[in-house]
């Protein structure tokens, strides 16, 4: 049976201790749930094993933001912030499992994506029928289970996260926003080619705002603060810092999705081009590249069979059109906005330092 409300434990003293505590909680949670599933039938453990294989490699950025939002208010309050971080990381794992199905990604965090893991199990054991479809089916179910786990853990936070509280509203809205943002993302892949190119950058920024800037940065930060009982002014101030930081984070992701080093990102080179992601980077190229290059880009974007030469040619279009340079300028500008907002936050100095450090890493990262 799932765990009831847990008593608050000591709040970890720093970000590193917090991440270690979240990692340990994740490991313990998935092991306990694996026992529960195996109690139904031994094969049930395939699902928790698959979830664990993907979740173990995370950077815990969302959990960490929740910790720093929490630490902006209280050093110790009757909410287990490690459990809150665990709920966010379980949600993120669920989202990644389904995202990899949607993006047809073979690898994630340098290990096989969950649908590929199940497909490989099918092949190794010589099972019947269509292994690819079995992989997708199992991944859909593993993601659903992980979503339920996330909710189960979030609910165990008790009154501070109960219905009607600010924390619950933030959590519910976060889920709704990221799922809507992801839908807009796949919609833009198919509908974008026929929509007004002059508006492509604006549309890409809307998608990015919902699927990532809010979800990956602003909401976790505000969630932590809300759990610790922040007032409305602090919540707004944290939002004002989180949104530009989140957008800069996503723009860096977009650049890495095309120009990233596979050895560092854990994903194949040019993956976003094969998937046909219509990012700000692509939108800028559609606006500024010569007509021939735009036509070539439109012709190749979203083809699953792009080879290394195709990727190199598309990268050249993005570079020569100035789309890459403009994206980098936008990242620098948003990073600056975030830093200015962080500087004026009414928070303890150690929180300001940590958020500044997070902002620097979000934009300078190579993975």
Sole window of 10-18, 130-138, 258-266, 347-355 interacting with a second copy (rule: CB under 8 A): 130-138
Q: Could you say whether residue 296 binds a second copy (CB under 8 A)?
A: no
Sole window of 21-29, 173-181, 236-244, 319-327 interacting with a second copy (rule: CB under 8 A): 173-181
Q: Could you say whether residue 17 binds a second copy (CB under 8 A)?
A: no
Q: Could you say whether residue 263 binds a second copy (CB under 8 A)?
A: no
Q: Are 115 and 58 in contact (CB under 8 A)?
A: no
Q: Are 35 and 50 in contact (CB under 8 A)?
A: no
Full DSSP string of 299-334: HHTT-TT--HHHHHHHHHHHHHTTHHHHHHHHHHHH
CB of 237 to a second copy, least distance (A): 20
- The 8-class DSSP code of residue 266 comes to S
Q: Could you say whether residue 4 binds a second copy (CB under 8 A)?
A: yes
Sole window of 151-159, 314-322, 332-340, 359-367 interacting with a second copy (rule: CB under 8 A): 151-159
Of the residues 49, 151, 320, 328, which one makes contact with a second copy according to CB under 8 A: 151
Q: Could you say whether residue 172 binds a second copy (CB under 8 A)?
A: yes
Name the residue nearer to a second copy (CB basis): 13 or 28.
28
Task: Report the site for a second copy in 32-71 (rule: CB under 8 A).
Answer: 33, 36-37, 40-41, 43-44, 46-47
CA distance 255 to 342: 24
Q: Could you say whether residue 114 binds a second copy (CB under 8 A)?
A: no
Task: Tell me the angle at which helices 323-343 and 232-259 cross, rounded to the nearest 10 degrees.
Answer: 160
Nearest to 12 by CA among 87, 76, 65, 56: 76
- Counts of helices then strands in the chain (DSSP H, E): 17, 2
User: For the chain, what is the largest distance between any 2 Cα atoms, rounded to a whole number of angstroms?
Assistant: 63
Sole window of 58-66, 74-82, 160-168, 326-334 interacting with a second copy (rule: CB under 8 A): 160-168
How crowded is residue 21: how many other Cβ atoms within 10 Å of its Cβ? 23
Q: Could you say whether residue 7 binds a second copy (CB under 8 A)?
A: no
Task: Report the site for a second copy in 316-355 (rule: CB under 8 A).
Answer: none
Sole window of 187-195, 231-239, 331-339, 349-357 interacting with a second copy (rule: CB under 8 A): 187-195
- The 8-class DSSP code of residue 213 comes to I
Residue 63 Cα distances to 69, 77, 95, 332, angstroms: 10, 17, 15, 25
Name the residue nearer to a second copy (CB basis): 229 or 348.
229
């Amino acid at each position: 049976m799932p765990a009831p409300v847990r008593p608050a434990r000591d709040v970890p003293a720093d970000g590193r201790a917090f991440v270690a505590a979240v990692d340990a909680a994740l490991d313990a949670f998935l092991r306990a749930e694996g026992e529960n599933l195996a109690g139904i039938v031994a094969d049930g453990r395939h699902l928790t094993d698959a979830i664990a294989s993907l979740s173990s490699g995370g950077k815990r950025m969302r959990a960490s933001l929740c910790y720093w939002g929490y630490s902006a208010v209280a050093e110790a309050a009757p909410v287990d912030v490690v459990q809150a971080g665990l709920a966010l990381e379980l949600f993120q794992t669920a989202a990644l499992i389904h995202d990899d199905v949607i993006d047809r990604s073979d690898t994630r965090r340098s290990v096989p994506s969950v649908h590929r893991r199940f497909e490989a199990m099918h092949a190794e054991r010589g099972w019947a029928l269509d292994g690819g479809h079995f992989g997708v089916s199992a991944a859909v179910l593993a993601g659903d289970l992980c979503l339920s786990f996330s909710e189960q853990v979030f609910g165990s936070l008790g009154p501070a996260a109960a219905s009607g509280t600010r924390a619950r509203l933030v959590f519910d809205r976060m889920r709704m926003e990221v799922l809507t943002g992801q839908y807009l993302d796949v919609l833009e892949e198919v509908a974008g080619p026929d929509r007004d190119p002059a508006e492509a950058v604006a549309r890409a920024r809307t998608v990015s705002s919902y699927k990532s800037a809010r979800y990956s940065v602003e909401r976790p930060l505000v969630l932590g603060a809300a759990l610790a009982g922040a007032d409305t002014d602090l919540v707004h101030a944290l939002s004002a810092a989180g949104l530009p930081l989140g957008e800069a984070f996503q723009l860096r992701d977009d650049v890495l999705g095309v120009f990233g080093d596979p050895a560092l990102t854990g994903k194949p080179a040019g993956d976003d081009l094969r998937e046909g992601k219509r990012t700000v980077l692509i939108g800028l190229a559609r606006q500024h590249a010569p007509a021939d290059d735009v036509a070539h880009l439109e012709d190749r974007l979203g083809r699953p069979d792009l080879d290394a030469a195709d990727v190199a040619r598309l990268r050249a279009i993005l570079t020569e059109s100035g789309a890459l340079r403009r994206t980098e300028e936008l990242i620098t500008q948003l990073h600056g906005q975030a830093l200015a907002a962080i500087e004026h936050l009414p928070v303890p100095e150690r929180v300001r330092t940590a958020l500044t450090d997070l902002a620097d890493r979000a934009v300078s990262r190579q993975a």
